[in-house]
Amino acid sequence: MIEQSQSLDMQGRYPRIITIWVFIGFMAAGALLWLLYEPLPQSLAYHHFADQRSLFGIPHAMNVLSNLVFCLTGVWGVTSIAKRTAKLSGIYLIYLIFFVGVFFTGLGSAYYHWSPDNATLVWDRLPMTVAFMAFTSLVVSERCSEALGYKLLPYLLALGALSVLYWVWQDDLQLYLLVQFGPILTLPLLILKFSGPGTCWLWLIILFYLAAKLLELSDHQVLQLTEGLVSGHTLKHLVAAGAALILVAKVNALQETVHHQTSGK
């Protein structure tokens, strides 16, 4: 019986270790590509958004004001976590950092869109990397090992900040793009391979994020299709904030499930 138990344990452990190393391999491959290829500078045309309308003295009003949804979602997420635990450690701390990153993404993005240029874009991208890296740590914690995800968190946050600082220093976006898109390309592997709480919620978050990127790339086309009503970038803000809102719903829904189970209902 002991040998059989050890065999089952090894069967469960080795695929998990292999998958974690595959995840690390994807990130390492991305880093290698970054080192081998020519620098990718920030195009100044990026700052020329489709919707240039002002409202009540606010320049680029729709792109500025749509960031309010990030701030509200971040506040809701932080209060949801605060209601459920008095001890901010482990996975609860990761959730908290994610929602704080979402809140400051709203502030930073509003500041950037008020006067879009490379200098203000820094304050848009820095808090976004906090949210990206915290979400990566969160999935690792819930799917592989809570201890591993928690230990990875400071390194991932440092990598995210470094990617923005490196862009500012070298005008090279490659490391930042690795931080932004690397998790989206590799996290589905962990979600598919390992069971964990809120699988449907996680897939919805990824789909919302991909939809937001598509809207960002279709900024002018969406403004034309809606006959000047709303641009793709404004909708991108709303849909991306919706992805964070889904994580708030995930926290609340799973907590309700635990409450009903422990109360015997």
What the chain holds in terms of domains, given with CATH numbers, is: 32-37+55-263 (1.20.1070.10)
245: pLDDT strictly greater than 70: yes
Least confident of 27-31, 121-125, 182-186: 27-31
Instruction: Please enumerate in sequence order all residues whose Cβ is within 8 A of that of 243, keeping only pairs 6 or more positions apart, or say none.
Output: 204, 205, 206, 208, 209, 212
**Confidence class of residue 179 from pLDDT cuts 50, 70 and 90?**
confident
Question: What CA–CA distance (Å, rounded) separates 257 from 26?
Answer: 35
Question: What CA–CA distance (Å, rounded) separates 74 from 99?
Answer: 5
Give the number of other Cβ atoms within 10 Å of residue 197's Cβ. 14
Rounded to an integer, the average pLDDT of 95-112 is 97
Residue 45 DSSP one-character state:
G
Average pLDDT, rounded, for the chain: 85
pLDDT at 212: 97
Residue whose C-alpha is closest to residue 72's, from 224, 242, 190, 205? 242
**Residue 143 buriedness (CB in 10 A; 0-12 / 13-18 / 19+):** buried
Instruction: Please enumerate in sequence order all residues whose Cβ is within 8 A of that of 136, keeping only pairs 6 or more positions apart, or say none.
Output: 152, 156, 183, 187
Residue 227 DSSP one-character state:
T
Question: What CA–CA distance (Å, rounded) separates 5 from 67?
Answer: 53
**Confidence class of residue 23 from pLDDT cuts 50, 70 and 90?**
low
Strands in the chain per DSSP E:
none
Question: What CA–CA distance (Å, rounded) separates 147 from 42?
Answer: 37
Rounded to an integer, the average pLDDT of 113-121 is 97
**Residue 14 buriedness (CB in 10 A; 0-12 / 13-18 / 19+):** exposed
Integer CA distances (angstroms), 20 to 138, 143, 189, in order = 14, 10, 9
**Confidence class of residue 5 from pLDDT cuts 50, 70 and 90?**
very low
Query: Which residue would you say has higher pLDDT here, 78 or 5?
Result: 78
